[in-house]
Amino acid sequence: MAASGEGASLASAAGGEDGRRRRVSYFYEPSIGDYYYGQGHPMKPHRIRMAHSLVVHYGLHRLLELSRPYPASDADIRRFHSDDYVAFLASATGNPALLDARAVKRFNVGEDCPVFDGLFPFCQASAGGSIGAAVKLNRGDADITVNWAGGLHHAKKGEASGFCYVNDIVLAILELLKFHRRVLYVDIDVHHGDGVEEAFFTTNRVMTCSFHKYGDFFPGTGHITDVGAGEGKHYALNVPLSDGIDDDTFRDLFQCIIKKTAVAVGVEPDNKLPYNDYYEYFGPDYNLHIQPRSVENLNSTKDLENIKSMILDHLSKIEHVPSTQFHDRPSDPEAPEQEEEDMDKRPPQRSRLWSGGAYESDTEDPDNMKTETNDLSASSVMKDESNDDS
């Protein structure tokens, strides 16, 4: 870790006691942009590579610890997903003629969630980054971790949904629960975070909070009265919104419920994009911020006040500390045995599925990228109940 003022240690956006240097760890798998859902499909992993290019050309990578994640193993993924579903994903091929029609229906793969070449390695890369990010936090090696290849919040225990196959968020939360009594999950995607909410609907160790568009809109779940069940009652918070909500209204609603927000790196990038490998994609204005469209805000002040009131009422019914006791901590994920590779060597040709080395491009910055093990030998011990809550 670099000394103060350089490297991967960043100043907090807040002042006072929170004005210390924050250590930010950024996970990126160079091959992630090579996977392809198919022609015309709205899910495009290539956008992750485009985002990484912007991170590098803004110079933000020099303020981060850049790590290349190990792929999640079958055993890692089975910590949440069912054995038969994981076995299907691991064996699935992009050739539709080789797929079992009954399995296709059972596991909900098809048009929205196609079986494409390299599906399982894609899932392993996405999940590996999020699990590795959680391990970093558990070990105290970072204050903030980032994995732009993650966030696949619709995947269910035994089926794909909404372009998502493996729920990396659930796997990361399960990793965090090895060391922390409670986890707060906040989802600000336009779609309801149904897969994560469903996974923790009956536990009081994880609070899920989703801000999303609600109504005739995928996945159609996330009503404000959906608050969890059993021990998890009031630990699922849903903030259903209508079209057209503006920045100020959303910010006010968010801060009212979450209480405190923070900017990870404490850097405000210039609105004019730096020239990068994908510059032409951002025309015609080539700006970082998108100009908002003129859309009527269908969220009335009365509706928003009702949402605030109901959410705060749910929060008032939560016990101060969940009635949970620690048990033996599950073992840490194990890093696979891999041959050492030359990160500076360019692969002989660029194919759909990346062949193993870092691209010879400024976007990869191989000198600052290291492979991150998810294992990370379990030298740390479980916090006991006398420690502070997380």
- Tell me: is residue 191 an annotated ligand-binding position: yes
Are residues 164 and 80 located together in one domain of the fold? yes
Residue 222 main-chain phi, psi, to 5 deg: 95, 35
DSSP character string of 89-148: HHH--S-GGGS-HHHHHHTT-SSSS---TTHHHHHHHHHHHHHHHHHHHHHTS-SEEEET
Are residues 100 and 143 located together in one domain of the fold? yes
Element (H, E) at 182: none
- Per the annotation, the verdict on 154 as an active-site residue is yes
Q: Is the pLDDT of residue 214 over 50?
A: yes
Identify the pLDDT of residue 384: 34
Are residues 222 and 254 located together in one domain of the fold? yes
Q: Is residue 295 part of a domain?
A: no
Q: Using an 8 Å Cβ cutoff, are 113 and 119 in contact? A: no
Q: Using an 8 Å Cβ cutoff, are 74 and 131 in contact? A: no
pLDDT digits (tens, 9 = 90+) for 65-115: 999 999 999 999 999 999 999 999 999 987 877 888 999 999 999 989 999
Q: Is residue 27 part of a domain?
A: yes
pLDDT digits (tens, 9 = 90+) for 4-39: 333 355 555 544 445 567 899 999 999 999 999 999
| Share of residues in the chain with pLDDT > 70 (%) | 73
Confidence of residue 389 (pLDDT cuts 50, 70, 90): very low
User: Other CB atoms closer than 10 Å to residue 170's CB: what's the count?
Assistant: 26
- Tell me: is residue 189 an annotated ligand-binding position: yes
SS3 248: helix
Are residues 150 and 30 located together in one domain of the fold? yes
**Domain limit, last residue, from 180, 215, 243:** 180
Q: Is residue 380 part of a domain?
A: no
Q: Using an 8 Å Cβ cutoff, are 258 and 312 in contact? A: no
Q: Is residue 310 part of a domain?
A: yes
**Domain limit, last residue, from 112, 145, 180:** 180
Q: Which domain holds residue 28?
A: 22-180
pTM for this prediction: 0.76
The two tokens of residue 59 are: 């110079």
Looking at per-residue pLDDT, the higher value among 294 and 341 belongs to 294
Q: Give the dihedral sign, CA 112/116/121/126.
A: negative
Residue 81 main-chain phi, psi, to 5 deg: -80, 150
Of 22, 4, 8, the C-alpha closest to 61 is: 8
Q: Is residue 357 part of a domain?
A: no
CATH number at residue 100: 3.40.800.20
DSSP 335: P
Are residues 113 and 132 located together in one domain of the fold? yes
Are residues 161 and 253 located together in one domain of the fold? no
Q: Using an 8 Å Cβ cutoff, are 49 and 31 in contact? A: no
Q: Using an 8 Å Cβ cutoff, are 127 and 171 in contact? A: yes
Name the catalytic one among 52, 57, 154, 314: 154
Q: Is residue 12 part of a domain?
A: no
Q: Give the dihedral sign, CA 340/342/343/349.
A: negative
pLDDT digits (tens, 9 = 90+) for 142-167: 999 999 999 999 999 999 999 999 99
Residue given tokens 């502070």 in the structure block: 388
Q: Is residue 272 part of a domain?
A: yes
**Domain limit, last residue, from 180, 197, 221:** 180
Are residues 74 and 129 located together in one domain of the fold? yes
Are residues 167 and 249 located together in one domain of the fold? no
Are residues 32 and 166 located together in one domain of the fold? yes
Q: Is the pLDDT of residue 379 over 60?
A: no
Identify the pLDDT of residue 59: 92
Residue given tokens 């600000």 in the structure block: 188
Are residues 225 and 268 located together in one domain of the fold? yes
Are residues 166 and 28 located together in one domain of the fold? yes
Q: Is residue 294 part of a domain?
A: no
Element (H, E) at 232: none
| Share of residues in the chain with pLDDT > 90 (%) | 57
Q: Using an 8 Å Cβ cutoff, are 240 and 307 in contact? A: yes
Number of domains in the chain: 2
Are residues 50 and 146 located together in one domain of the fold? yes
